[in-house]
Chains A and B, each alone.
Chain A
Amino acid sequence: MTFLTRKDMLWFVVLALVLLIVFPLGLETFRLNLFGKYLTYGFVVLGLVLCWGDAGILSLGQGVFFGLGGYCMAMFLKLEASTPAATKIQSTPGIPDFMDWNQLTALPAFWQPFHSLAFSLVAVVAVPTLLAFGIGLAMFTRRVGGTYFAIITQAFAAILTILIIGQQGYTGGVNGMTDLRTLLGWDIRTDHAKMILYFVNAVLLLGAALLSHVVRRSKLGRILVAMRDKEDRVRFSGYNVAHFKIFVFCFAAALAGVGGAMFTLQVGFMSPSFVGIVPSIELVIYCAVGGRTSLLGVIYGTVLVCAARAAFSEAMPQLWLFAMGSLFILVVVAFPTGLAGVYRTYLDPRLDRLLPWLGRGRAPTTATVERPMHAAAME
């Protein structure tokens, strides 16, 4: 079995060209930085493709993992920006400014390890993954799923937001962690640094897409789809369904954490407004618009919706919510397979006729993976 068919390869190369050549050449640095921000959501939607599109587990709490990754990165950057020299006007020099404003006089213990970049980078992936593991272990082994799981993950998004806003002295509160300056002495605010960070982000995203593709094409990926369509049969075949669900939920959380860290680096701050219920649902919508079973589709979908939002809210902010709301309804009711579905129905057959050599070497699993996803609920 081939992991990448010729057509997969073609589209993957096209995405790489778009991200690495078309965007950097076609956009000025300010816009490129914005697109880099959109692409960090790409990590989250890749995870959602596996978690929701394949395994049928809808998480409305992906913003939690995105935010945790982002906050781990921000804590490191904030500590580096708060040297005693830079903060000598504070009553306690050497601690982040928001702690000083909240009458803290010493760095809290859980902040200490974030002096180390290595620890912070591990935490970016490990903290979201561990939380996902805990939630997954508690929920999936007790067979909580479907809409119940969605509501409980949403409650986690609410809890983390309330916690961050409530504990200002430790987290920076509603403003988040702002005024991040350097990464190991390298100023991340210059245009040059933003350009480099964009490329790091794009390459990581392509890597994440490839990794997700490998997982989907593996036997494990097929079990995920089988679980979505007929969970009981998978269970009766001797598989422990809970373990697969926990794995895919952790995988999605780890990707989201990386996305959050890249977000912090490129945007220069992290705040609770990227953690809560609304951003978490928006991530799911990006995934739905792109087509929840297509790895490349969701990346295009995310960039498209985010760019449309930026254009709309600059031109006519009142209309944006109408447009966004109608888009959700339209996609869900009329195009449940999203952009990728439109491509598969209308463009793909033509492409096959136009370039017949592409069709050869097609992996046999394609057809099963791309069945309409609501087949699972048709009983």
Chain B
Amino acid sequence: MLAGYSLGELGSIMAMQGFAGLILFSVFVLMALGLAVIFGQMGVINMAHGEFMILGAYVTFLTSKLFTTYLPQAFGVYFFVAVVLAFIVAGALGMLVEWALIRRLYKRPLDTLLATWGLSLILQQVYRSIFGAREVGVDQPDWMMGAMNITNSIQIPINGLIVMVLTTFIAIGVYLLIFRMGWGKQVRAVMANRAMAGAVGIDTERVDRITFGLGCGIAGIAGSAFTMIGSTSPTAGQLYIVDTFLIVVFGGAASLAGTIASAFAISQARSTLEFFLSGSMAQVIVLLAVIAILMIRPQGLFVLKVRR
């Protein structure tokens, strides 16, 4: 399959596909970070995670509409407002869901999976009723549509760059929050031993609620970033849920570095293979490879040494 390309051409193909892969990687990381917080730290399987992401995308869509109607002069910066709003809305819904549903099911992880699947069906229908079944795209301000010329052959789209910077900030933020701050210590304590954490005075219910809300909020930000690379439809979230779960499992559920490394490996492998094979075969090969590696190393790439 490599026949017909010179070495130099292969190099530039790799670079171009590599950059396309980097943008996909950023969105994957954002989605997987939210899931790593919820699944990795709390052990809850949230099948509605994709729908929280789409909620963020719709919030971004609404914000752009609001700015064009009421604040056209500030349209250039609407995206940053939208990111914050997406985080708040998705996070608030996440906390509501935790309170109403998830907290009753902590002892039955497999049942949480089914209940959140029900939730995802309801959310999809809500989106369909409000926004219609058709895909909606978001208008981007002119300065984000442009590209930066590095050399005359390599161009970097600005919106991709913004998504990457955003991802970096969120990843560092989550790391600091969970592994460097007192609150993160509480989260990890509750996860390791709920009864003992409660006994030493941690409000475990509150920690659970905020952790879940945080994970959903990050999914909302992922949705915001997603509008930069694709259009939004009520069922778009479902397309990404399997990939995202595999990323988290592949990376080692409780490890943030593992999540980022596996998101990188999966997105790069996929976008590079996609150039040579059809998109569907690339996806199949990558998924199979991930499963094969998981069979050899079921605990994932990176393991946190924790006594359970």
Partners in one complex: yes
- Size class of the B contact interface (CB-based, 8 Å): 35 or more
B62 contacts chain A at the CB level, 8 A cutoff:
no
Chain A residues near B113: list those with CB within 8 A.
58, 60, 147, 150
**With known contacts A146-B109, A146-B110, A165-B280, A333–B291 Cβ distance under 8 A:** no
CA–CA, A332 and B100, complex, Å: 13
> In the bound complex, do residue A328 and residue B249 qualify as a contact, i.e. CB atoms below 8 Å apart?
no
> In the bound complex, do residue B298 and residue A148 qualify as a contact, i.e. CB atoms below 8 Å apart?
yes
B238 contacts chain A at the CB level, 8 A cutoff:
yes
B122 contacts chain A at the CB level, 8 A cutoff:
yes
B302 contacts chain A at the CB level, 8 A cutoff:
no
Cβ 8 A contact of B104, one of A156, A162, A285, A333: A333
> In the bound complex, do residue B118 and residue A147 qualify as a contact, i.e. CB atoms below 8 Å apart?
no
Report A256 CB to chain B, min CB distance, Å: 19
A-B contacts counted at CB < 8 A amount to 119
**With known contacts A142-B298, A166-B278, A58–B121 Cβ distance under 8 A:** no
> In the bound complex, do residue A333 and residue B105 qualify as a contact, i.e. CB atoms below 8 Å apart?
yes
> In the bound complex, do residue B288 and residue A147 qualify as a contact, i.e. CB atoms below 8 Å apart?
no
Among the listed stretches A65-73, A102-110, A319-327, which one makes contact with chain B, having 4 or more residues with CB under 8 Å of it?
A319-327
> In the bound complex, do residue B281 and residue A166 qualify as a contact, i.e. CB atoms below 8 Å apart?
yes
Within 8 A of B (CB), among A162-214: 162-163, 165-166
> In the bound complex, do residue B283 and residue A162 qualify as a contact, i.e. CB atoms below 8 Å apart?
yes
Report B272 CB to chain A, min CB distance, Å: 18
- Size class of the A contact interface (CB-based, 8 Å): 35 or more
> In the bound complex, do residue A155 and residue B118 qualify as a contact, i.e. CB atoms below 8 Å apart?
no
Report B195 CB to chain A, min CB distance, Å: 11
User: Which A-chain residue is minimally distant from B292 (CB atoms)?
Assistant: A138
B45 contacts chain A at the CB level, 8 A cutoff:
yes
Instruction: Give per-residue flags for B233-246: 1 if the beta carbon is below 8 A from chain A beta carbons, else 0.
Output: 00000100010011
B108 contacts chain A at the CB level, 8 A cutoff:
yes
A329 contacts chain B at the CB level, 8 A cutoff:
yes
Chain A residues near B280: list those with CB within 8 A.
162-163, 165-166
B101 contacts chain A at the CB level, 8 A cutoff:
yes
Chain A residues near B139: list those with CB within 8 A.
none
> In the bound complex, do residue B118 and residue A328 qualify as a contact, i.e. CB atoms below 8 Å apart?
yes
> In the bound complex, do residue A277 and residue B298 qualify as a contact, i.e. CB atoms below 8 Å apart?
no
CA–CA, A165 and B283, complex, Å: 12
Report A226 CB to chain B, min CB distance, Å: 18
CA–CA, A377 and B112, complex, Å: 13
Report A124 CB to chain B, min CB distance, Å: 24
B77 contacts chain A at the CB level, 8 A cutoff:
no
Residues in B lying within 8 Å of A, measured CB to CB: 39, 43, 45, 47, 101, 104-105, 107-111, 113-115, 117-122, 124-125, 128-129, 238, 242, 245-246, 249, 278, 280-281, 283-284, 287-288, 290-291, 294-295, 298
Residues in A lying within 8 Å of B, measured CB to CB: 52, 58, 60, 138-139, 142-144, 146-148, 150-152, 154-156, 158-159, 162-163, 165-166, 277-278, 281, 284-285, 288, 318, 321-322, 324-329, 331-333, 336, 374, 377-378
